[in-house]
Structure 1
Amino acid sequence: MNYIDLFAGAGGLSEGFIREGFSPIAHVEMDEAACYTLKTRAAYHFLKSEKKFDIYKKYLKNEITRDELYKKIPTEILNSVINLPIGGENNPKIHKEIEKQLNNREVDLIIGGPPCQAYSLVGRARRKDGMKGDPRNYLYVQYAKYLEKYQPKMFVFENVLGLKSAGSGIYLYNMEKLFDKKGYNMKLFTVEANNFGVLQNRRRVIILGWQKEINIDLPDLEAIRCNTKHTVSELLNDLPSIQAGEGVDKFVSYGKPSIAYLNNAGIRNGIDILTQHVARPHTVQDKEIYRIAVEQLHRGERLNYPSLPKRLKTHNNQHSFFDRFKVVDANAEYSQTIVAHIAKDGHYYIHPDIKQNRSLTVREAARLQSFPDDFYFEGVKEGKNRTAAFKQIGNAVPPLMAQSIAATIIELI
């Protein structure tokens, strides 16, 4: 089964489909750093299939550079990552690159979801115009053009819950009408990542679409439930203890054995190499707030920003965002939602261990999104990637959730 991934991001959705045996024809993404991440992951999959995995290990250990890694990969695989914005004058260029990758293959599936800022409730609240007129509101029109050109049997469209209410529902209504015009039925599901074994509270919209002439019995994605319960501590406890500003970007050994959840979720998947476990540096003031927040959580309370001592309060807004400092609860079955704002600061993602007194590392955030530890998040410049990595992780689809969706689809088509 072959697919094209539109608005691919770092490839979380794609990772789940690859695990279920789907084969990517192309990934289309406008963010340059995310495209390097996609290329590095494509290198991973190629080297693993060719039994040359030691080359990838050398990269994770910092024994070879990114350029040296890419020289080991066929050009056509790296070129399958298309770094262009979808729409307008770029579409012919994208189609030309996709045609090079097709080699007379059919496109069985199109996956992906346009950037969600235009539909998100938070995004609308922050803008005076409520995102009206934002061109990202209409990227579904571009999505439909790709459906029309490549005629996949099905499509998977992922987005935020706000899609249902944006423009009082007019965008979703027009989307359904447009997809119908292009020859596709669609059904919308509201799913929760923790029901798929992801240890994170993340609610999303998944739209499944299929050609009208295909008679299929759609599964109920909302009825999927993970049979086992775990806690966030199971995600974090095997990682080395580090302080604010400490850690190593490449090649840190774990120091502790793996456990069942990490193995079953594919997070610890056989290599004893840990990367991107680096903690942000924090000010003395922030670390004092973090300590108060963790102590309150241990008492079963959450920090309320206005209750902080006056000397620790620097925000003028005392009437909203009371939980702007929030600890990741180690004893909970899932964490708060990982969002792209984590790229700006870690205040909403404080590590639960008061002895470490810091915010989450890239690797810890990636684990909460169910990314495997051998998944490396790139920046535009090699090694300059923490902010870019956090942004990619916050915008991603959890691979574990994507894998469950892929498993249901492959049975249908």
Structure 2
Amino acid sequence: MSLKYIDLFAGAGGLSEGFIRAGFDPVAHVEMDKAACYTLQTRVAYHHLKSQNRFHEYVSYLKGEISRADLYSRIPTELLSSVINHPVGAESNPIIHKAIEKQLKGDQVDLIIGGPPCQAYSLAGRARSKNGMKGDKRNYLYVQYGKYLEKYKPKMFVFENVLGLLSAGKGVYLENMRKLFLKKGYAMKVFRLEANDFGVLQNRKRIIIIGWKNELNIEVPDLEAIKMLTAHTVQSLFSDLPKIQAGEGSRYLKYSSKTNEYLSGKAIRNGIEILTQHIARPHSDQDKEIYRIAVKKWNNEGTRLNYNDLPERLKTHQNRESFMDRFKVVAQDEPFSQTVVAHIAKDGHYYIHPDIEQNRSLSIREAARLQSFPDDYFFEGVKDGINRTPAFKQIGNAVPPLMAYEIAKILKVFL
């Protein structure tokens, strides 16, 4: 008997991918972003075709031999309909519930996973907002989460968000969350986790809240005690990728070398022999000159570039007192990179490739690998084809599948 779950605020499906890998069965993914929903449907297609020994059809899609519409035509409509493109909220909830009921067919929901958009709780989001995000509807999406707990009565839930949730509203939001979930019949425990403790080669701190029905009376293990440290460095993620310049890349390429222990062991390079979405954004000559300076400073001196140290002719920002590290190299000799965030969709200045010969920011695939997505994971845009901006945004907002997988394995014991 499979363990069934609903993924709310699913994004590109990073959290869900970890649970599927651990043997859980998704009932539905609920997501408001259309591009992310196409990504989720493409992943549904991947899992279905693989289970039917028709993986070659998925590979044909990756190569661009068949269109997205053609790919989806080969998948049962019922499966594609499990991806529900609506925002969680009072207006859409009846539509979402109806779609979920069709998928459930009377079965019980064992688990609800997901976390509301983080802008309302993140320090960066509050800093950019004129009133510190006060009154923003996203502050209260946890109330909707509580309604789904009340309706589907799962045994447990997993709520993911940014560290800023601890301090948002001086802790009031988190405390109100605790009270609300308790009222719905759930106890909860808050964990501050670091992705690199789960084998992800990225410095990514997040809050994970594990909740369970009061009557279960279980003792959740201390997730903060998990230390799956690895001797590998970021170079392990880049070593088999062909060298490309700014603005170069293709829908699919061949790997430049064999896999390595990290890529195989963490199921990132997992048997598929074509490399997809290794595509870099173009850069201006000025940006590329700055990138070269930043890479030289790091590779030769081990120091980061301070914006004020640039020649005056290269300084175009008026702000000279904050964000001095706006140009940052992803150091290949470090055990983990800086945090990959959605801003990578706007520019690549904070994610400069360490190879000065390539002189560019990270490709879509490199960013996905830092998040521990497997190479056969394809990130869609609204239009069929390669769309850099939505792909980068989805990757930056995701939960690392590797981290999700380790958490899912632990929760599976209780369920």
The offset of 1:228, in angstroms, is: 2.6
SS where residue 171 of structure 1 aligns? helix
Q: Answer yes or no: is 1:86 the counterpart of 2:70.
A: no
Q: Answer yes or no: is 1:305 the counterpart of 2:307.
A: yes
CA deviation profile, 1:287-331 (whole Å, cap 9, x unmatched): 000000000001111000011000000000000000000000000
- The amino acid across from 1:315 in the alignment is H
CA deviation profile, 1:61-92 (whole Å, cap 9, x unmatched): 11100000000000000000000000011000
Unpaired runs of at least 5, structure 2: none
- The amino acid across from 2:286 in the alignment is Q
Q: Distance in 1 between matches of 2:229 and 2:378?
A: 29
SS where residue 50 of structure 2 aligns? helix
Q: Distance in 2 between matches of 1:397 and 1:220?
A: 19
CA deviation profile, 1:358-403 (whole Å, cap 9, x unmatched): 0000000000000000000000001142100000000000000000
2:277/2:386 contact within 8 Å kept: no
**1:172 paired residue number:** 174
- The amino acid across from 2:358 in the alignment is Q
- The alignment-based identity, stated in percent, is 70
2:252/2:278 contact within 8 Å kept: no
- The amino acid across from 1:308 in the alignment is L
Q: Distance in 2 between matches of 1:228 and 1:24?
A: 30
- The amino acid across from 2:177 in the alignment is M
Of 102, 113, 116 in structure 2, the residue corresponding to residue 111 of structure 1 is 113
- The amino acid across from 1:214 in the alignment is L
**1:351 paired residue number:** 353
**2:34 paired residue number:** 32
1:244-259 correspondence to structure 2 within 5 Å: 244-248=246-250, 250-259=251-260
The offset of 1:227, in angstroms, is: 4.3
**2:19 paired residue number:** 17
2:298/2:329 contact within 8 Å kept: yes
* Displacement over 6 Å in runs of 4+: none
- TM-score normalized with structure 1 length: 0.99
SS where residue 325 of structure 1 aligns? coil
SS where residue 311 of structure 1 aligns? helix
CA deviation profile, 1:211-232 (whole Å, cap 9, x unmatched): 0000212111101111432100
- The amino acid across from 2:277 in the alignment is Q
Q: Answer yes or no: is 1:221 the counterpart of 2:223.
A: yes
SS where residue 185 of structure 1 aligns? strand
Alpha-carbon RMSD: 0.6
Of 391, 400, 403 in structure 1, the residue corresponding to residue 402 of structure 2 is 400
The offset of 1:412, in angstroms, is: 1.1
CA deviation profile, 1:15-48 (whole Å, cap 9, x unmatched): 0000000000000000000000000000000001
- The amino acid across from 1:172 in the alignment is L
Q: Distance in 1 between matches of 2:297 and 2:91?
A: 54
**Deviation larger for 380-389 or 185-194:** 380-389
Q: Distance in 2 between matches of 1:362 and 1:96?
A: 35
Q: Answer yes or no: is 1:195 the counterpart of 2:209.
A: no
Q: Distance in 2 between matches of 1:307 and 1:280?
A: 25
Q: Distance in 2 between matches of 1:300 and 1:97?
A: 54
Q: Distance in 1 between matches of 2:266 and 2:125?
A: 32
**2:125 paired residue number:** 123
- TM-score normalized with structure 2 length: 0.99
The offset of 1:125, in angstroms, is: 1.0
**1:391 paired residue number:** 393
**1:375 paired residue number:** 377
SS where residue 174 of structure 1 aligns? helix
Q: Answer yes or no: is 1:67 the counterpart of 2:62.
A: no
Q: Distance in 2 between matches of 1:233 and 1:265?
A: 15
